[in-house]
Each structure stands twice: as C-alpha cells, then as structure tokens.
Amino acid sequence: MSPAPSAAPPSRLDHEARLYLAAHPLAYPLVRLLARLGPVVRVPGLGVVVNDAAVARAVLNDERFRKDGPGSPADLWTPVLGPSVLLNMEGPDHLALRRKLMPLFTPAYVSGLVADVLREPLKALDARLARGETVDLVDAMRVMAGAVICRTIGLGEVPEERARELFAEGERVVSMVSLRSRRLSDRQVAIARRVLDRIGDIAQAAYEAGDESTVMGRMRVQGLSAAEARGAAGAFFLTGTETVATFVPRLVALVCDHGTTVDGPDRLDRVIDEAMRVTTPTPVMLRSVAEPALVGEVAVRPGDRVLIATHNCARAHGPFDPSRPHPPELRHLWFGAGPHFCIGYPLALAEIRAVASTVLSHRVRVVRRRAARGVLIPTYEHLWITAS
C-alpha cells in the first residue's frame, strides 16, 4: 500500500497548519505562540495553558482536576446532555458508569460492528477508486461515520442522505463551541437539545426493544437505566462522529503529502498513531480546579481552569514522521489519559483502520482540497483523491 507522489510538493507540509488556521484564524496562532512561552502558561481570560505532555498527563491523572466543576466541560454539556454522561462526571459514579459501558467497546465487538456497517460502503469506495474515479473522501467519510453512529445509537441500515443529515446535525452542535467558550447560550442549548432529543428518542426505542445484537440493547443488559442509555447515546454521537470522520481524510492527505509507504497492518497502525499525534482531532482538553495545586511550576486555585493544549504537547515532538517512536509521556495523549481516557478508542480505531486500509490499498493521490471554516475540529471541507 503506497500513495502516488503528491501533486503539490512545495507547500505540502503546511496543509495541516492551514486547516487549523481556516478553523481558528485567531486562536490557532495564539495557541501556537503560547507553546513557545513555556510548558505551563497563565493566560488572563483563558486559563492556565499546558503545553507539555508530561505535565498534561500528570493533570489528567490527578483527581484535583475535574470535569464536573465550574469552568469545566460540565458547564458546556450538562445543559444539553444531562448530568450523567461520563464527560461531565467524576469519582465513583463516573467509574461505575464507565464499567457498565466498557464491555460495549471491546475490540472484537466493535470490529464486528464496523465490518458489518461498512462492508457495502467500503466495497463501493474500493470500486470507485479502482475505476479511477475522483472521490471526495470527506463526503465518503461523513457518510460512513454517520452510518456507524446511526447503528450505535440504534438505527438499522440508513440511506446515505440520513447519515449525512445526522452528521451535519452533530457538526452543528459541536461547532457551537469555540476554544474560549465557557457555556452555551440559551438559544444554542435549545438547538442542541432538539438535536440530542431526537438521538435520545431513537436510542431509547432501541434500548426498550432490548435486542442484544445492538449497542443500545447491550446497554440494557449491562444494567444501564433508560436515562443513562439516552445520555450515553448523546455523548457518543457528539464525541464519536466528527472526530473520526475528520481524521481519516487528514490521515490520507498526510500519507500522500509525505509519500509514506503503508505496507501491512502494523505499519498502518504506526502511521495512524503518528497522524493522530500531528492532527490531534481533539486539540484541547479542559479541567476545573477543585483545590489548590501546582500545574508544573504554576500555582492554581479553585476557580482557575486548566486548558491542556494537546496539540502543542503533541507537536513539540516534531513534524510527521512515522519512523520516530513516541516517548512514553506522549502515548495516545490525543485520546486523553487517566480516568477519562477515550472510551470509544477501540471503535475509532476499528473505523479508521477499515477505511484507511481500503483507501491506501490503492496508489492514491490528492487531486484537490479545501479547508473547512467555522468548525471546531480542523478538517478538509473537501479532499478529492484518485488512484493511479
């Protein structure tokens, strides 16, 4: 599996930076500038910003830094998703809910789910590339990630249009958040609730049907209440659609731009991990401070918020280069660390592997691309690829 040489060598290394700039024209230069000011920097109006992977990991593993206090992600998401959806919980309740949800994400189960949902779409994508068609990988990926999340929340097979629609609704909600957001406005909450209520209704119907072959049916077997299952579906929908869908085109573009060879599953995993490091689809993680503490050498107190600039932590390791191993403090930091480590990691990886191995089994090249504006997660609006 190896790509054809890139069509645009002189500017190829700048494409990722351009995506970030298109998404966050003001915040991105500021965030990158902060990386130069030290491992931990206090920024008035923003919070205490962490640019160092070892410090970030220490914060993520320290229970004094929380996701449920004032200034934490709970302020953003509790009004929309309810109080008990992992990403706004801490302590024993968080652990108990995680334990119930973990069995839904075993590698064996998610690989089966992905293989089943993506079998036909991947066959179609493979055939289009084999015929030499120019394919917009962004659109193809939206449909596929939309289809996986539809299945996860309890819809059966859905037409492409429905998958696209669902994807766009999730994107609309996620894009309400900016790097500076502390809470959503009443209007934003109302819009987000309308979207999430629809997801919740679908999820609850699947939960009540109790079919153990579905994720929602399995939640019931794991002892989740209907409210917990609704909340979990909403959280998966918000966290697990755009992250995956935006990453795959960026991965393929990086592989093409760098002329990277991808020969076999181990190498593919290595390339995926390195592309994750460079892109960091979740560029920032947020915590509130429960009691006085040190972040690196900076003293913080309750009321402060800590912004982990995952992107800065990861980019400190240098440009895209799959041959260089990651130091231990960086390991999978783009999926978090500690008690909130991404629960959907096995599902994300199964989806990414499935699509990337199909696309990169061809000698693909990028024909044209356009960066997306007004989005939270930097991405291509279009990435047209073709195989030669």
Kindly list the residues in this chain that would bind ligand HEM in the complex (CB under 6 A).
86-87, 98, 235-236, 239-240, 243-244, 247, 281-282, 285, 334-336, 340, 342-344, 347-348
Of 346, 347, 355, which Cα lies nearest the Cα of 119?
355
Residue 340 or residue 362: which is nearer to ligand HEM going by CB?
A: 340
- HSE toward the beta carbon, residue 103, CA cutoff 13 A: 14
Minimum CB separation from ligand HEM for residue 234, in Å? 10
Minimum CB separation from ligand HEM for residue 30, in Å? 20
Q: If you write DSSP's letter for every residue of 213-252 in order, what string do you get?
A: TSHHHHHHHTT--HHHHHHHHHHHHHHHSHHHHHHHHHHH
Residue 239 or residue 379: which is nearer to ligand HEM going by CB?
A: 239
Strand (E) positions, 51-153? Answer: 65-66, 135-136
Minimum CB separation from ligand HEM for residue 343, in Å? 5
Residue 330 or residue 387: which is nearer to ligand HEM going by CB?
A: 330
- ∠ CA 245-247-250, nearest 5°, is 125
Where b means 16+ CB within 10 Å and e means fewer, 234-251 reads bbbbbbbbbbbbbbbbbb
Minimum CB separation from ligand HEM for residue 332, in Å? 9
Residue 6 or residue 351: which is nearer to ligand HEM going by CB?
A: 351
- Both tokens assigned to 370: 């356009």
Whether 207 contacts 216, CB under 8 Å: yes
Residue 217 or residue 387: which is nearer to ligand HEM going by CB?
A: 217
Minimum CB separation from ligand HEM for residue 53, in Å? 13
Residue 164 or residue 353: which is nearer to ligand HEM going by CB?
A: 353
Minimum CB separation from ligand HEM for residue 315, in Å? 15
Residue 19 or residue 87: which is nearer to ligand HEM going by CB?
A: 87
Minimum CB separation from ligand HEM for residue 243, in Å? 4
Whether 150 contacts 166, CB under 8 Å: yes
Q: Report DSSP state, residue 133.
A: -
CB atoms under 10 Å from CB of 261, counted, come to: 14
How far apart, in whole angstroms, are the C-alpha atoms of residue 325 and residue 343? 24
